[in-house]
Structure 1
């Protein structure tokens, strides 16, 4: 089940809210939210929900073990090793087994059969959440949770279970046990959810369909401008797909009394690649910083080695294919070069030049991300940079561009923080009641447009579900 589905919008979510708020007791609410979350996951993964529960049980007891021996660090460390070993073994087995076998076969000429295991939805997210919990308990940053219902709720809450953001236990530990209903929070949650749904359905889905029309076409149909247009569409799709999902997750959290951290901060307004990665998928970036980069030595010891390890892992986390490794290392090289040389030069340049530089390398990076077949990536790059005998553009691109020109302007505007500024301006110049009615109208408009499109659309993927 996905948030942008009629089943979720008109059956699952209303039923969950009604059952949840029908009982004032926090323990009962936690039980209801946990039950609905497991139903939500089992809707798409009826078999692998057992794997999710096993992961929860394993790290719940690892946390208790670490807490029990907190004054004897050598023994407590065994709990961390246990958590890392099992979680990473599960992740490697289910996500990377085929990739490893295919790589070995390619390098050795052997013919091992790939296991062909179906990737459990959300495993990349919930394994990182439980690992961060056991490490934080070991570090003494959070106390071990002694109530299993509270712990499993932290892991399986459907708001963030299958595609993030990666929520750490310390972010919501107090709210698991002490949250109270707040009408302003609930109202803001509805607004944030409707905004995210609209971004996903109206912008990301449209961009995705346009992307498939132009990006990676065979030589008889492609053009230089068409490939660049398709790549731009993919850049819009992946941003509004993932940021829209994060908006919906954060909004749902507010409806139930949880406050998740922001995951995107207008990354396409960045003026460097360093700036971009401070704004894009923030929960993943901070996870690798706190649990990989700093423990390896950070900036103090072997910083270049540490940086490339982190970016290699960042790439492979996104998918079991060499293009993702290449994508991660691509950004690792640029970030290293910025740190060594380029940032000092960029500081002296106008913001417009810095922004063009950042956008060029960001968009080019999405080409590496898009193509799991490296030969197709190579042929597409040749077309994009005029190294293939293809036309500059054609009638199909011309027609698609002008048919979607207003939508494209709107999508580009939504990449900037103009939406938040517009709301701040309205709130300042309108009376409180008028502003509230304006927000209600906006929410109904976003929801109505999204529902109408969902009724007629067959193309409705969530890109990050496969990670």
Structure 2
């Protein structure tokens, strides 16, 4: 189910709110409310493919029991176990959780990619065709698996590290994993951060109003900004050989940069707003990332729940910056390459991550006192956005050949064919200059959503309501409007 759909806005959400607040009014137990939210989360997740609910329940049950194994390891001391034996028991539970979750993710997300890569290597080496059962080529990727696997996995790791308290019951943990606001596309919520909210939540009128307003802002951002930019980007990346001019290529990639930011930050706004309606407070996920003056700063502002996850569960365990300069660069590269692969099973995502890793290493090597670090901030913001545009080509293109051709066109290295003028005229007709200017104004001038909505003010709620109404009206004209990050 999609937040920006009629079934969600007019049926599912009202049903959830009526049921949840009806239970609050009746003073039912928090266990009953968690059972209700869990059931609604299952309906939300299994709307298009109910079988995927079984996979989510399987990983959830496994991690809950492995978490109990980690916590109960302390009881071995009563039976005379040594510290080393207790530690080994805890570590076994944590390792089993990491291995099983990553194995599930790898099977569903990377099997087809592995098969294609093996075939490509075989063709390149002249070994001939590799016969692979068709089953491995047609594995369907469950929606949101990259997000809920990370959230479930982090529970056991945090228990092992002593950074979280265990869930009071299997129902509480299942409710956390299946909580529909963050289930499919984040933010990545760690149990340790939300554990106290699972035990006790405060519901206020101001919090509810802020949640609705945040949802309205997010829906407006998605329908009124992201989707129009997506139409332009699709035209550019869907152009055939010789049908793209240098100008339309640049227009297309800038449109995609706007689309992916507004699309994903809109989802995060809506998720955070929905969570507030239920008394939960999620971490912020975006902080005006295109205002960044470096790639390092960009990753402190973009998809912050993922960047902190990669830092805490990958970069630091690899050694971080504690093992010398060379090892730091290696750790940065590995972290970003794996982060790229997390987004999708494609060499394009690996290249995207590698470029970001190389830039993080380069900026660390150059330092603040170099010519690069000493440039005026506006110039650094422009240069950073330029680098991001290059990386977004790999993120958006269907494969490496398309990305290579698109980049070559951007820099005038490909001769435009006779159909390029036709597409250029079509795109310039479709492109509304005010839409680009509005996107640029929101990106580089306006404060971010959480700054605007840090507290409830009636006129901000009115703006949110207007954005909501206009976006809903537009939804009737554009039909289905999926979020980009559903595919990751």
Give the shorter-chain TM-score range.
over 0.9
Identify the residue that residue 113 of structure 1 maps to in structure 2. 133
Identify the residue that residue 93 of structure 2 maps to in structure 1. 79
What TM-score results when the alignment is normalised by the length of structure 2?
0.90
The 1-side partners of 2:113 and 2:347 are apart by 9
1:28-77 CA-to-partner distances (Å, cap 9, x unmatched) read 21111111111000102211100000111000001111001146111111
Identify the residue that residue 52 of structure 2 maps to in structure 1. 48
> Offset of 1:395 from its aligned partner?
6.5
The 2-side partners of 1:39 and 1:421 are apart by 29
Identify the residue that residue 77 of structure 2 maps to in structure 1. none
Identify the residue that residue 314 of structure 1 maps to in structure 2. 339
The 2-side partners of 1:150 and 1:37 are apart by 13
Matching residue within 346, 354, 366 for 2:392: 366
Matching residue within 80, 92, 95 for 2:106: 92
Aligned residues: 460
1:64-113 CA-to-partner distances (Å, cap 9, x unmatched) read 11001146111111101110121111001111111111111221242323
The 1-side partners of 2:46 and 2:445 are apart by 37
The 2-side partners of 1:46 and 1:421 are apart by 34
Where does structure 1 lack aligned partners over 5 or more consecutive residues?
none
RMSD: 2.1
Identify the residue that residue 414 of structure 1 maps to in structure 2. 442
Matching residue within 167, 186, 191 for 2:189: 167
> Offset of 1:16 from its aligned partner?
0.2
The 2-side partners of 1:201 and 1:188 are apart by 20
Structure 2 residue 301 is matched with structure 1 residue 273: no
The 2-side partners of 1:450 and 1:137 are apart by 42
Identify the residue that residue 61 of structure 1 maps to in structure 2. 65
Identify the residue that residue 204 of structure 1 maps to in structure 2. 226
Structure 2 residue 215 is matched with structure 1 residue 193: yes
Structure 2 residue 482 is matched with structure 1 residue 461: yes
Identify the residue that residue 33 of structure 2 maps to in structure 1. 29
Matches within 5 A, 1:13-412: 13-24=13-24, 25=28, 26-70=30-74, 72-108=86-122, 109=128, 110-114=130-134, 115=136, 116-301=138-323, 302-341=327-366, 343=368, 344-390=370-416, 394=421, 397=424, 400-401=427-428, 403-412=431-440
The 1-side partners of 2:272 and 2:282 are apart by 6
The 2-side partners of 1:422 and 1:165 are apart by 14
User: Contact 1:63 / 1:137 at 8 angstroms: preserved in 2?
Assistant: yes
User: Contact 2:235 / 2:427 at 8 angstroms: preserved in 1?
Assistant: no
The 2-side partners of 1:391 and 1:439 are apart by 50
Structure 2 residue 475 is matched with structure 1 residue 451: no
Q: Give the match's secondary structure for 2:46.
A: helix
Distance change >3 Å, CA 85–CA 425, structure 1 → 2: closer
> Offset of 1:311 from its aligned partner?
1.1
1:258-315 CA-to-partner distances (Å, cap 9, x unmatched) read 1111101000111111111111111111111101111111101221221111111001
Structure 2 residue 7 is matched with structure 1 residue 2: no
The 2-side partners of 1:395 and 1:422 are apart by 42
1:312-334 CA-to-partner distances (Å, cap 9, x unmatched) read 10010000111111110011111
Where does structure 2 lack aligned partners over 5 or more consecutive residues?
75-82, 123-127
The 2-side partners of 1:312 and 1:74 are apart by 30
Moved more, 454-463 or 270-279: 454-463
User: Contact 2:37 / 2:175 at 8 angstroms: preserved in 1?
Assistant: yes
Q: Give the match's secondary structure for 2:181.
A: coil
Identify the residue that residue 80 of structure 2 maps to in structure 1. none
> Offset of 1:218 from its aligned partner?
2.1
Distance change >3 Å, CA 317–CA 349, structure 1 → 2: same
Identify the residue that residue 78 of structure 2 maps to in structure 1. none
